[in-house]
Amino acid sequence: MSKKNGTEPTPEEKKLLAAWRTFFQKNCKADFAALATSEEDVWGFELQWSLLESHKGLGQSFLNDMEKCLHSGQIVIEEQFRNHNLKPRPIIRIVGISELHRYHLVDLRMRDRTRFLRFDAVVHSTSRAMGWLKRSAYTCNECTHEWVIKEALARARTKAEACPMCLRRGFDLLLEGAKREDLPDPRDIRMDLERNYYEDIQYIELFDPTCLSDEELPDDVPTITAVVSDEYVNQFSPGQCITVNALIGVDHLPSRDYIRDTRRILRLDIHSVEEGFSLHEE
């Protein structure tokens, strides 16, 4: 959304924002008070699924469109943190997800992509911490319109070609009979480096607890790649037992030897992590 040429939320989005506001006001006042002295830069704000599910307008919204629901919630929680003068940057983490979403890592297949599932897992290995450009920001030199493009992890950056506002205005002027030389130049744009948004991430390899034969960490075991972000980076170590709530995504084969390789692997985009197993015995 543009800062200078913003658009109003739709009626549906307004209802979702209102639902989040009443949720935080009803359930999180004590949490906000407890964070008054926090000096953390980023804070994973954990919310119990049972509370979210029982709040009108949120539980079903989360299941229907997780990204949209969390986006609205993020707007509201950042607003709440500002209102309470809290220092950390908050990130909503839903925990205690229903067992109806329970799954096993060894059973994951391509048909499960886009599903939101819950797993018991053991950390096999971790990568170094890194960052990625999550949202690239642009400004039009012609009309000063500002906009943001959402990028995809481990993919080529989307190239902005033209200002959408100047294109629309130019089209309207042509309909009114304007000459081409009088039209605004929609290609006169620049990337706004100060507004680019980078996110800290880390790759971790996970395996199913059923692969544990004894207390030793197995060397040769089928693993799946997962991605953690922000406050979860550098928080996990090999052998650690965790419960993860994750969206199932698809990634390129790491060892691909040509650009248009059609082979793919599954990837867990981790939304939240809970200590220990929730189903298996440790």
275 DSSP β-pair partners? 242
How many angstroms separate the CA atoms of 88 and 84, rounded? 11
49 and 153 share one domain: no
Contacts of 116 (CB under 8 A, 6+ apart): 63, 66, 97, 101, 245, 246, 247, 248, 271
For the chain, count helices (H), then strands (E): 6, 10
CATH code of the domain covering residue 67: 3.30.1640.10
124 and 210 share one domain: yes
Residue 95's closest CA among 44, 28, 30, 41?
44
Note the pLDDT tens digit of each residue in 81-98: 999 999 999 999 999 999
Q: Between vectors from CA 24 to CA 18 and to CA 26, what angle results, nearest 5°?
A: 100
Determine how β-strand 264-275 pairs with β-strand 224-229.
parallel
Domain assignment present for residue 127? The answer is: yes
Note the pLDDT tens digit of each residue in 106-134: 999 999 999 999 999 999 999 999 999 99
- Calculate what percentage of the chain has a pLDDT beyond 90: 75
139 DSSP β-pair partners? 146, 190
- Predicted confidence at residue 71, as pLDDT, reads 94
pLDDT above 50 for 2: no
Tally of domains within the chain: 3
29 and 167 share one domain: no
Of 58-67, 171-180, 251-260, the poorest mean pLDDT is in: 251-260
Work out the number of other CB atoms within 10 angstroms of the CB of residue 226. Answer: 26
Could you tell me if 224 and 123 are in contact, meaning their C-beta atoms sit under 8 angstroms apart? no
Could you tell me if 202 and 227 are in contact, meaning their C-beta atoms sit under 8 angstroms apart? yes
Domain assignment present for residue 171? The answer is: yes
- Predicted confidence at residue 227, as pLDDT, reads 97
CA-to-CA dists, residue 13 to 8, 47, 49, 68, 224, angstroms: 9, 21, 21, 9, 35
121 and 236 share one domain: yes
Per-residue pLDDT band at 1 (split at 50, 70, 90): very low
82 and 174 share one domain: no
What is the DSSP secondary structure assignment for residue 17, as one 8-state letter?
A: H
CATH code of the domain covering residue 231: 2.40.50.140
Give residue 153's domain range. Answer: 134-197
Domain assignment present for residue 6? The answer is: no
Domain assignment present for residue 88? The answer is: yes
Mean pLDDT across 50-76: 93
Could you tell me if 24 and 71 are in contact, meaning their C-beta atoms sit under 8 angstroms apart? no
Note the pLDDT tens digit of each residue in 173-201: 988 888 888 889 999 999 999 999 999 99
pLDDT above 60 for 282: no
Could you tell me if 55 and 62 are in contact, meaning their C-beta atoms sit under 8 angstroms apart? no
What pTM did the predictor assign?
A: 0.85
